[in-house]
Amino acid sequence: MMTRPLSLALVQAPAAPHHDVGAFAEGLGRLTRSLPGTHLFAYPELHLADAGADDAPSDAAERIEALAQPLDGPLDRQLAEVAGDLGVWLIPGTFYERGEDGRVYNTATAYSPEGRRVASYRKVFPWRPYETVAAGSDFVVFEMTGHGRVGLSICYDAWFPESSRQLAWIGAELIVNVVRTPTADRAQEVTIAKANAIVNQVFVASVNAASPDGIGRSLLVDPQGRARVESSSSESVVLTDTIDLDEVGLVRQFGTAGVTRPWRQFDGDDASIELPLYDGRISASRWAPRSAILEEVGA
């Protein structure tokens, strides 16, 4: 029997009309009626903020500047209202945020069924040199009350193992990576999603845009690296599943495939391992995630 069930829908869809929250709300409303009981709906990167990736770089930059708005701007307020009206948890992809410093960020947000923004995350690893937005600097995990902890990740972030490791370390049990990949390296991203799930023993949801904005192939991976549901095409599709977030704690306690327990690698007698690349080190006393799950199983 599931003890912490989370029912989720990954909406593999093409970009919606710019900031057209009315059409977005209508589509999400139809989904909630057809998928009653689903807790979390997640959409691809820049789902409501298409700046024309196929345009000349200068044209795209101008459109990004025009689309950018403050975090607490009209789009944010409208999306919060949509989540509250429908009574669902919502990750609507990302939008271009105008920061207080005047720079533009690619920002993911999450909203609660009470109609509140509960998290915002600025993409730490923009896809250089093609993506010209500023880079964020903070990793974000939020609590889904009654379910568990969700980490936010945006597209190219997944290629940097430090990103998923940091999210797992600060408590993520599910990492939602919202994606807009129209290129052939989506095949590698599918493998990376599985690898990030395996080495961090977490669920990973990678939701890509559908054609013509993305190549699809969205998937949901469990803490042992098994794809629970996945799309094999670029067509529009909604992937659904119900997971038990307690599986994270069980895999970490008993091991991947009943064998491997990387989060229990170190004990108090192990010396620090220097990491010159980061001008830092791995410390045995700081290795285990900041997660009540490991505490509960005696880690």
Give the closest residue to 11 by CA, choosing from 241, 242, 237: 237
User: At residue 58, does pLDDT exceed 60?
Assistant: no
Q: How far is CA 57 from CA 63, 123, 214, in A?
A: 10, 19, 18
Per cent of the chain over pLDDT 70 is 94
Domains for the chain: give ranges and CATH numbers.
5-246 (3.60.110.10)
pLDDT score of 51: 66
pLDDT score of 291: 61
Positive or negative: CA dihedral 134, 101, 163, 157: negative
User: At residue 296, does pLDDT exceed 60?
Assistant: no
Q: What is the mean pLDDT of the segment spanning 221-227?
A: 98
Angle in degrees, 0-180, between the axes of helices 161-169 and 186-200, rounded to the nearest 10:
30
Run of H or E including 134: none
pLDDT score of 52: 62
The strand pair at 280-282 and 40-42 is best described as unpaired
Q: What is the mean pLDDT of the segment spanning 110-130?
A: 97
pLDDT score of 299: 43
**H helices then E strands: how many in the chain?**
7, 15
User: At residue 68, does pLDDT exceed 70?
Assistant: yes
pLDDT score of 288: 87
> How does residue 183 score in pLDDT terms, banded at 50, 70 and 90?
very high
User: At residue 249, does pLDDT exceed 60?
Assistant: yes
User: At residue 293, does pLDDT exceed 80?
Assistant: no
Q: What is the mean pLDDT of the segment spanning 266-280?
A: 91
Q: pLDDT tens across 135-150, in order? A: 999 999 999 999 999 9
pLDDT score of 282: 84
Q: pLDDT tens across 88-110, in order? A: 999 999 999 999 999 999 999 99
pLDDT score of 298: 46
Q: What is the pTM (predicted TM-score) of this model?
A: 0.94
User: At residue 59, does pLDDT exceed 90?
Assistant: no
User: At residue 55, does pLDDT exceed 60?
Assistant: no
pLDDT score of 294: 47
Instruction: Report the C-alpha gap between 176 and 10 in whole angstroms.
Output: 10
pLDDT score of 26: 97
> How does residue 1 score in pLDDT terms, banded at 50, 70 and 90?
confident
pLDDT score of 226: 98
Instruction: Report the C-alpha gap between 178 and 155 in whole angstroms.
Output: 6
User: At residue 57, does pLDDT exceed 90?
Assistant: no
pLDDT score of 231: 98
- How does the average pLDDT of the chain come out, rounded? 93
User: At residue 295, does pLDDT exceed 60?
Assistant: no
Q: What is the mean pLDDT of the segment spanning 27-42?
A: 98
